[in-house]
């Protein structure tokens, strides 16, 4: 009887253990599934964040920018006259970066690896011939390239082909894009010119004659400014005071012009009111 009872108890014990084991396995499976789901959710979140960051890096408003061209080697770099920079153009959301290189020793570029370049000749980037001007005034013709970009501030693979016919792998990037400042027009040769004048500032009631006379002597520009009233008794330009050149008619001045195409800040004092008032304006001169 004892043996039979033992066997009966043992059998019951085995059944209970199996049931408990089954519960444990079920709980373990559920925990594993939950952990897997959490990991998948985290991965999706990271991927979404990465994609959003990538899209942000790729987005620039249409316009012209200057940007740094950074490379992993002295074999490929901007010409010294360019101070490490190139021109980034964004048009209809498409970005193209133009860089002038150090010489004509890099004859082609390929966006990708050197191993893939030969099989994709149609995608090689062809050089332009750029003229650079050094600080001592000398010039040189070098090769430049227009490189299409999908993003700024991100590294990308760029293979270069040298004059010996061998491709080399490099990692480069275009960074720190800033809107390009409009360059002031060059000073014209000595002589007499007619220029358009745009006046901004003040109350908007005053005006100046346009076109105006511009004199260039020894590389220095002087403009004749005729106001719309006789009530201006002096002007200040770059800290210097200028008096009218006439005693009758609308106030007329001869003032220096630092650059064409760039707003020139001036102050004009008017006596039209009960007390004199200095009023700030800008004048912009452009050749007819």
Tell me the three-class secondary structure of 48-95, residue by residue. HHHHHHHHHHHCCCCEEEEEEEEECCCCCCECHHHCCEEEEEEECCEE
pLDDT of 120 strictly over 60 = yes
The whole-number average pLDDT for the span 6-30 is 40
* Count of other CB atoms within 10 angstroms of residue 227: 21
Q: 153-185, pLDDT tens digit by residue?
A: 999 999 999 999 999 999 999 999 999 866 556
Same domain, residue pair 158 and 220: no
Q: 230-248, pLDDT tens digit by residue?
A: 999 999 999 999 999 999 9
Same domain, residue pair 68 and 96: yes
The domain total for the chain is 2
Query: Which percentage of the chain shows pLDDT scores above 70?
Result: 78
pLDDT of 45 strictly over 60 = no
Domain membership of residue 35 (yes or no) is no
Domain membership of residue 16 (yes or no) is no
Domain that holds residue 247: 191-287
Is residue 172 within 8 A of residue 60, CB to CB? The reply is no
Same domain, residue pair 278 and 218: yes
Same domain, residue pair 175 and 214: no
d(CA 101, CA 130): 9
pLDDT of 38 strictly over 60 = no
Helix (H) or strand (E) holding 2: helix 2-58
Query: Which percentage of the chain shows pLDDT scores above 90?
Result: 65
Same domain, residue pair 84 and 174: yes
d(CA 233, CA 269): 6
């Amino acid at each position: 009887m004892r043996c039979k009872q033992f066997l009966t108890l043992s059998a019951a014990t085995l059944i209970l253990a199996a049931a408990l084991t089954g519960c444990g396995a079920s709980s373990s499976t559920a925990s594993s599934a939950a952990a897997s789901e959490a990991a998948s959710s985290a991965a999706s979140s990271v991927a979404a964040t990465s994609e959003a960051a990538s899209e942000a890096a790729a987005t620039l408003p249409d316009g012209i920018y200057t940007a740094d061209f950074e490379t992993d080697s002295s074999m490929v770099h901007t010409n010294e006259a360019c101070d490490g920079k190139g021109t980034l153009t964004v048009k209809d959301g498409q970005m193209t970066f133009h860089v002038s290189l150090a010489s004509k020793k890099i004859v082609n570029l390929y966006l990708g690896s050197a191993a893939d370049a030969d099989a994709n000749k149609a995608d090689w980037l062809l050089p332009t011939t750029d003229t650079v001007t050094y600080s001592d005034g000398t010039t040189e013709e070098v090769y430049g390239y227009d490189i299409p970009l999908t993003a700024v501030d991100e590294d990308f693979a760029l293979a270069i082909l040298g004059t010996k016919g061998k491709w080399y792998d490099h990692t480069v990037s275009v960074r720190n894009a800033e809107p390009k400042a409009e360059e002031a027009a060059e000073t014209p040769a000595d002589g007499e010119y007619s220029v358009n004048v745009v006046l901004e500032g003040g109350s908007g009631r005053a005006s100046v004659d346009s076109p105006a006379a511009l004199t260039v002597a020894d590389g220095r520009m002087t403009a004749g400014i005729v106001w719309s009233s006789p009530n201006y008794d002096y002007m200040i330009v770059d800290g210097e005071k200028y008096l009218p050149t006439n005693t009758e008619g609308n106030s007329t001045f001869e003032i220096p012009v630092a650059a064409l195409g760039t707003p020139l800040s001036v102050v004009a004092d008017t006596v039209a009111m009960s007390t004199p008032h200095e009023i700030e304006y800008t004048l912009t001169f452009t050749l007819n």
